[in-house]
Amino acid sequence: MDLDKLLNKTELSKEEIVYLLELEKKEDIQKLFNKADEIRSKHCGDEVHLRGVIEFSNYCSQHCMYCGLREENFSIKRYRMTAEEIIETAKHISNLGIKTIVLQSGQDGYYDTDMISFIIYSIKQSTDVAISLSLGERGFDEYKAWKIAGADRYLLKQESTNPKLYSIYHCSQSLFERLNHIKYLKSIGFQIGSGNIIGLPLQTINDIADDIISLKEFDVDMAAIGPFIPSDFTPYQNKKPGSVELTLKSMAVTRLVLKNVHIPSTTALDTLDEFGREKGLSVGANVVMPNFTPHPYREQYIIYKNKRGVKDNPDAAYNKLQARIQTIGRKLSNTKGHSYKNSLTTH
Ligand code: SAH
């Protein structure tokens, strides 16, 4: 295949996606990265959007083989933040000028429909921010209630769209069910974030191509692609981490295929590579998600090991991150950074 021609095509077939993911020569990979950076600039501009994350509970009723929060992991100290703590942290993030708050947790039924609605409503009343929820699979009525309470976005990663692999990774959950939740969330007006993990055991390049095509078919507003990092006390604790290069190639191809979507440069990538954040931002990413989970909880949200920045004070970590973004010549956005697609959301 002629790489230059391929990179200028507006639509890519699965075969072409696989070809790009399999590029090996340094200069070819650099061409792919440059193209992704150009398309990011054309469709999203040069600003980096910020999402302040609050990981408010690490209790989880799921059993994902790769995740340190899985119910069977008795080695981590579990915590739940109170509604007041969550709302106060959200106000603090808003005071720093960040216009999106992500409320993330394990799948934790302790926070019932009304409690989450109360938290959303209270944050919306006292700040001018967009709210993303990342709470796992919950009831359809709950999604509706939270939309009405004021939540704007929902982040539910497809993780892997190979049904066989999905059932291996997730024991009790089904891919069909997960995708159904994503469809439903979209149908009631949420902006959708989804994505997948690169380098899970048994995964092939073919699977990654299918994952990218699935993100396109779901017409997601945000696509998060991060590397697998083994987590202690999980069945995959001794497996190899995902490759940084393959993660970067997957992010770049996702930008080529999806074009006008938000793509974060993830903390997982930054954990595996000293310059992960910068590298991600130069191959198609336009979003970063600074972690504002307060001490002592931030060290206990152990999805994977050695997560970068968990020992730092949240504000200091954020300052460092800001400086790194500015060093590579990118500006920080001071808007909510809503979806680039037509949506029901008011801007
Ligand atoms: N419980 C929620 C969200 C919390 S987990 C949910 O199910 O959606 C957030 C994300 O962390 C997951 O979607 C998964 O993609 C990622 N993750 C979990 N374990 C990981 C690991 N070991 N390496 C890399 N990413 C991981």
Q: How many angstroms separate the alpha carbon of residue 2 from the centre of ligand 1? A: 37
* Contact status, residue 272 vs residue 305, Cβ threshold 8 Å: no
Q: Structure pTM? A: 0.97
Give pLDDT, residue 152. Answer: 98
In tens, the pLDDT along 1-39 reads: 899 999 999 999 999 999 999 999 999 999 999 999 999
* Contact status, residue 247 vs residue 270, Cβ threshold 8 Å: no
Give pLDDT, residue 347. Answer: 41
Determine whether the shortest distance from the Cβ of 106 to ligand 1 is under 6 A.
yes
Predicted confidence band of residue 173 (pLDDT cuts 50, 70, 90): confident
* Of the options 3.20.20.70, 3.30.710.10, 3.30.1490.20, 2.40.420.20, the CATH number for the domain spanning 13-332: 3.20.20.70
Polymer length in residues for the chain: 347
Atom of ligand 1 at shortest range from CA of 107: 1
Residue 346 pLDDT > 50? no
296 upstream amide cis, omega within 30 of 0: yes
In tens, the pLDDT along 276-289 reads: 999 999 999 999 99
* Contact status, residue 93 vs residue 291, Cβ threshold 8 Å: no
In tens, the pLDDT along 126-171 reads: 999 999 999 999 999 999 999 999 999 999 999 999 999 999 999 9
In the block, tokens 């995964």 appear at 203
The preferred substitution site among 228, 303, 307, 308 for testing ligand 1, maximizing ligand atoms within 8 Å of CB, is 303
Give pLDDT, residue 343. Answer: 54
* Contact status, residue 195 vs residue 157, Cβ threshold 8 Å: yes
In tens, the pLDDT along 300-344 reads: 999 999 999 999 999 999 999 999 999 999 999 999 999 999 755
Please calculate the CA angle 172-176-182 and round it to the nearest 5 degrees.
105
Q: How many angstroms separate the alpha carbon of residue 58 from the centre of ligand 1? A: 11
CB atoms near residue 5 (< 10 Å):
8
Name the residue ranges covered by the structural domains of the chain: 13-332
- Produce one character per residue of 229-250: b if its CB has 16 or more CB atoms within 10 Å, e if not: bbbeebbbeebebbebebbbbb
Query: How far apart are alpha carbons 328 and 113 in whole angstroms?
Result: 42
DSSP state of 264: B
In tens, the pLDDT along 111-138 reads: 999 999 999 999 999 999 999 999 999 9
Paired tokens of 56: 């408010």
Give pLDDT, residue 328. Answer: 96
Mean pLDDT for the chain overall: 96
- For the chain, the straight-line distance linking the first and the last C-alpha, in angstroms and rounded, comes to 42
Query: How far apart are alpha carbons 104 and 45 in whole angstroms?
Result: 27
For ligand 1, atom 2, the nearest C-alpha belongs to 136
Atom of ligand 1 at shortest range from CA of 197: 15
In tens, the pLDDT along 50-66 reads: 999 999 999 999 999 99
DSSP element (H, E) containing 142: helix 140-149
Determine whether the shortest distance from the Cβ of 157 to ligand 1 is under 6 A.
yes
